């Protein structure tokens, strides 16, 4: 079955060209010219990936991403002519997985989509399979406990499911596999975003901040996912 791609772009010419290019790449494309239509499409078609423009009439791309994140872990790539650092960070903090600046090469976009597709699926609902008892890492025994269950593809605190995006989940898995050891930003870029990824290392910092809001008791004073100044990040399960 072809992966389903949601394309949210209000420029008719760009949307048509992108839809045709992505269909040539093997995607089933559902396109929308405004955020409201795209939100309905997410509910109806459950896309596997999303391409989202930021500057839209009515609800903008930032608001769209924040609206879909509580119920969808589908990877989101932002497409925008805006290259300001503030916009990039704001889009990532809203819940985007990657940011591509216009104009861009379709080959580059396709490569980033393929990298996102290669990541393991993440459960977005509260249901778990009791048979999944292996590949579990207890991150925090004091509050929950907080458990990373790689077999089920989810994180839970006690009986409550912790909603993570695909990128956040993959980031936590990489840090969990190296518990107690420091991983540099570059190493995380290559393992989480795909080997050979040429993006900005700031993307790691933004996703670490988002991940902390979901796994730390006090994100402002992290004790599980700690920063090692000048080196990178380390996961310290307790």
Query: What is the DSSP code string of the chain?
Result: -PPEEEEE-S-HHHHHHHHHHHHHTT-EEEEESSHHHHHHHHHHH--SEEEEES--SSS-HHHHHHHHTTT----EEEEES---HHHHHHHHHHT-SEEEESS--HHHHHHHHHHHHTSPP---SS---TT--SSEEEEESSSS-EEEETTTTEEEETTEEE---HHHHHHHHHHHHTTTS-B-HHHHHHHHS-TT----THHHHHHHHHHHHHH-SSTTS-SSEEEETTTEEEE---
Confidence check: pLDDT of 30 > 80: yes
**Cα four-point dihedral sign 164, 165, 166, 172:** negative
pLDDT category at 135 given cuts 50, 70, 90 is: confident
Q: Which of 37-46, 82-91, 126-135 has the highest mean pLDDT?
A: 37-46
pLDDT category at 143 given cuts 50, 70, 90 is: confident
Both ends of the chain: CA-CA distance in Å?
Answer: 42
Confidence check: pLDDT of 19 > 50: yes
Identify the residue with better confidence: 197 or 172.
172
Paired residues of 148 in beta bridges: 137, 155
Task: Compute the average pLDDT of residues 218-237.
Answer: 94
Residue 151 and residue 136 in contact, taking contact as beta carbons nearer than 8 Å: yes
Task: Compute the average pLDDT of residues 14-22.
Answer: 95
Task: Compute the average pLDDT of residues 127-137.
Answer: 54
Confidence check: pLDDT of 49 > 50: yes
For residue 119, what pLDDT is reported?
Answer: 54
**Alpha-carbon span 22 to 25, nearest angstrom:** 5
Task: Compute the average pLDDT of residues 41-66.
Answer: 94
Domains along the sequence of the chain with CATH:
4-117 (3.40.50.2300), 136-235 (1.10.10.10)
Look up the pTM and report it: 0.74
């Amino acid at each position: 079955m072809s992966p389903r791609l949601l394309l949210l772009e209000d420029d008719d010419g760009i949307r048509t060209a992108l839809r045709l290019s992505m269909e040539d790449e093997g995607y089933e494309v559902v396109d929308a010219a405004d955020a409201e239509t795209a939100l309905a499409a997410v509910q109806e078609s459950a896309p596997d990936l999303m391409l989202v423009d930021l500057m839209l009439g009515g609800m903008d791309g930032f608001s769209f991403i924040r609206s879909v994140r509580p119920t969808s872990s589908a990877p989101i790539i932002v497409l925008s002519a805006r290259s300001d650092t503030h916009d990039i960070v704001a889009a990532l903090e809203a819940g985007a997985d990657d940011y591509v600046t216009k104009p861009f090469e379709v080959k580059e976009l396709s490569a980033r989509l393929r990298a996102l597709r290669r990541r393991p699926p993440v459960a977005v609902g509260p249901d778990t399979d009791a048979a999944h008892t292996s590949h579990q890492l207890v991150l925090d025994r004091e509050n929950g406990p907080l458990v990373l269950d790689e077999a089920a593809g989810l994180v839970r605190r006690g009986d409550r499911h912790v909603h993570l995006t695909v990128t956040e989940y993959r980031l936590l898995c990489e840090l969990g596999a190296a518990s107690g050891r420091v991983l540099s930003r570059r190493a995380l870029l290559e393992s989480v975003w795909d080997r050979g990824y040429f993006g900005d290392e700031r993307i790691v910092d933004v996703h670490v901040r988002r991940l902390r809001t979901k796994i730390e008791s006090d994100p402002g004073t992290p004790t599980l996912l700690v920063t090692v100044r000048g080196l990178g990040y380390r996961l310290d399960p307790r």
